[in-house]
Each structure stands twice: as structure tokens, then as C-alpha cells.
Amino acid sequence: MIALGIIHPCMKILTVLTYYRPHTSGLTIYAERLAHAFAKRGHEVTVMTTHYDPSLPFKETMAGVKIVRVPVIARVSKGVLAPTFGLVATKLVLQHDVVQLHLPQFDAPGVALRARLFGKPAVLTYHCDVQLPQGFLNRVVNTVLNFQNNMAGILANHIVTYTQDYADNSRFLSRYASKLTPILPPVELPNPIPGAVSAFAENHHTMERRPVIGMAARFASEKGVEVLLDAMPAILAKYPKAQVLFAGTYQYVMGEQAYSDRLMPRVHEYEISGNWKFLGNLNPVQMASYYPNLDVITVPSLNSTEAFGLVQIEAMMNGVPSVPSALPGVRQPVKMHNMGVVSEIGNSESLANAILEVLDNKDKYRGDQALIKEVYNPDAIAQEYEKLFMKLMRKK
């Protein structure tokens, strides 16, 4: 078949992950973008996931992608128990040409084993290492999940990760260097609705309260919210009207209630003074109006559960520089595109200084927006996966 000038055979691609959209995380957004890109290129794409939300249908088709949700009987920490997952996987693996698994995922080794038994290439997309919040149950879950991920790594034919930088510093990925390929993540945003950017500015007073510092994440311990909170006094000393616009889930985040209870009193003080505002989850169209209203975005994450920070690229596509922490992988967008300053991990003084440096020298960190959009275009990323799939299928 012919798609966008590229000739390639139509494949039946099975994508497997624990959570899929409308669940919001970097992993689910990545999976959705890639699945849609595969479908647009003429492939038959099925997403196998869990029925984590009772309001969702067990089966549906969205944007040409078939979605199969497996019943859930219980939650364990941030995961779920789905006893029939293996049964459904057996049927679906047999029906497809290639299996793509998104890790971390408890059920991945069972699916990878089925792929090996049925002679279907299995490719893992490894998004991040897992470090759950403290607690006995989470330690048990972490140990089991790490074991499962390693079993999947052994059984899979190939592993994809975002950057070589992250791979070199990941205990998991460094074990499988012989079957690893870095592929940048797919990133795209819709065009904002006419007038929506100015309407956003009016609603959130971004013209009166500047500069605007963006943070787009879940309110979770690994995201480093307290580092930004600790950096605020130094930032406000120079820019008293600065405000943080926090986009993402900030209430009742799974496994993060104690963290929220500890930090929220401090956040509320900044809310009262007008220096902090929660926006909640924003859909892609709303995010397209969010980014142009920012002066800088920050990703002050603390550990390797953050492997890249897709929001950095989304911001850069809108000409907004980034200040990430120096985590492997997370520091790469700024280094690759010269659009921001890297701060020390967990160091609020370093974060404040980096944000002030960017705010004081915005023209220095503008970057090439057109090139960034081209590099991360989901169709281009899907083509890289196609090449890998075809190579593995020829070996089979």
C-alpha cells in the first residue's frame, strides 16, 4: 500500500498496555499517538488494555484503532488485577503480525511469551523505570513489577527507548544493550481554536500576572513539585507577579494522598496570593492554548520514572523554553534543541536560577520550532517502528 509517499506492507499490530486513553499520562499519550499514526498509515491496529474505568465500554473503535478492555477485579497500588488478561492475549496475539508492549507493565512477560510461542515478533517500548512511593505494599509491588519487566525483556525480540542517554543510565535497559534501539517519542498538538489563546490569557490573567511558569504533570512525589515550591521565593523576589499554571491531575492522584496532604497548605498560600493556579486535566485542544501563554515550562522531576518529559517538546513547538532537572533522558530535549537550561536534580536554588536565566534571556532560547515539529512528527516515528517491525518479521 502507499501512504504519504512510503511503500510498505499493511501489518496487523497489537499494542498492549495497562492503561490507555482517556487515562492521562505520558505513556498513554505516547501509545495513543503512535497507534493513530499506524492506523493512518494503513495498518490494522488493536489496543489491548484494562477496563480500569467502569464507565468505559469493553470494546470500541477510535480514530481507526480497535480498543479491547479486559475486565478488572481489583486495584493494587497503581496497578490492577485482570485475571482474563492472558486468555484475551492468546486470542489477539494469534490474530496479529507483531506485538508492541508498553512497559512498565505487569502482564508483559505473559504476552511476550505468547508472541514467542506463536512466532510473532514482540517489541517492548520502555518508558521509564518504576519507583513507587514509600510503603511496604509498594515495595512488594515494585519488586514484582521489576521482575516482570525483566522477564519481558528476556522474552522480547527487541526493545525501544526514547534516548541513548536514558538507556545508558537505566539498570533495566543496560542489560539488553544488544537488542535496543532509541526512537524519539511521537509528539503533536492540534492547532488552537481561533481566539482560544487570547481567551485563555483573559481567563487566567496571563497578561497582568507575568511571567507565567508552566508545569504540566500529575501532582505526584516523583514530579518534584516541592522543588518548584522551594524555588518560588527567589523567583518572586525578582518577579513578584509571576504565576505558576499547573496543568494536570492534582486531586485524588492514585497513591499520592500523603504527598498532597503535605504540600497543599504551602500551595494554597500561593493560590491566595495569585502566584499559583491549578487548571486540572486539559485536553489536547486546551493544551494548544495553554502553551502559547507560558514564558517557560519546568520539569523538576526527581527520579527515573521520568524518562523524557514529552511536555517539553510540546512547549518547544510553541516557542516556549524548558527548565528540566538533570535526569538522564529528561535533560536531552534542552541539550538537543538549545531551548532552555538544565537544573540540578532536587536543588531548588538551581531550579530558581535556571528559570530566572531563561526569563531574563528569552530570545537566547527560542529554538527552531519547524524543525522540532518535523523531528517528532508521529508519522515519522511510526516509520521508524515500521522499519524495526519489518526487520524482525524477516528474521522470523
- pLDDT tens, position by position, 285-298: 999 999 999 999 99
Cα–Cα dist 101/332, whole Å: 24
| Domain identity same for 266 and 176 | no
Q: In what order do the strands lie in the sheet with 322-324?
A: 276-280, 243-247, 212-216, 296-299, 322-324
Give the rounded percent of residues in the chain with a pLDDT score beyond 70. Answer: 94
| Domain identity same for 368 and 385 | no
| Domain identity same for 359 and 388 | no
Specify the pLDDT at position 15.
Answer: 98
pLDDT band at 252 (very low <50, low <70, confident <90, very high): confident
| Domain identity same for 276 and 242 | yes
The answer to whether residue 275 sits within a structural domain is: yes
pLDDT band at 207 (very low <50, low <70, confident <90, very high): confident
Whole-number mean pLDDT of the chain?
Answer: 92
Which has more confidence, 343 or 22? 343
* pTM of the full structure: 0.87
What is the CATH number for 236? 3.40.50.2000
The answer to whether residue 117 sits within a structural domain is: yes
Q: Is 60 exceeded by the pLDDT of residue 8? A: yes
Q: How many domains does the chain have?
A: 2
The answer to whether residue 96 sits within a structural domain is: yes
Q: Is 70 exceeded by the pLDDT of residue 2? A: no
| Domain identity same for 109 and 89 | yes
pLDDT band at 3 (very low <50, low <70, confident <90, very high): very low
| Domain identity same for 154 and 275 | no
| Domain identity same for 172 and 256 | no
The answer to whether residue 289 sits within a structural domain is: yes
| Domain identity same for 168 and 221 | no
Specify the pLDDT at position 134.
Answer: 66
Range of the domain at 119: 2-186+377-395
267: its cell numbers: 500551595
| Domain identity same for 385 and 338 | no
The answer to whether residue 30 sits within a structural domain is: yes
| Domain identity same for 55 and 181 | yes
Segment 249-270 mean pLDDT: 92
The answer to whether residue 369 sits within a structural domain is: yes
Specify the pLDDT at position 229.
Answer: 98
The answer to whether residue 191 sits within a structural domain is: no
| Domain identity same for 161 and 233 | no
| Domain identity same for 182 and 213 | no
Q: Is 60 exceeded by the pLDDT of residue 116? A: yes
- Count of CB atoms situated within 10 Å of the CB of 137: 12
Specify the pLDDT at position 146.
Answer: 80
The answer to whether residue 336 sits within a structural domain is: yes
Segment 318-337 mean pLDDT: 97
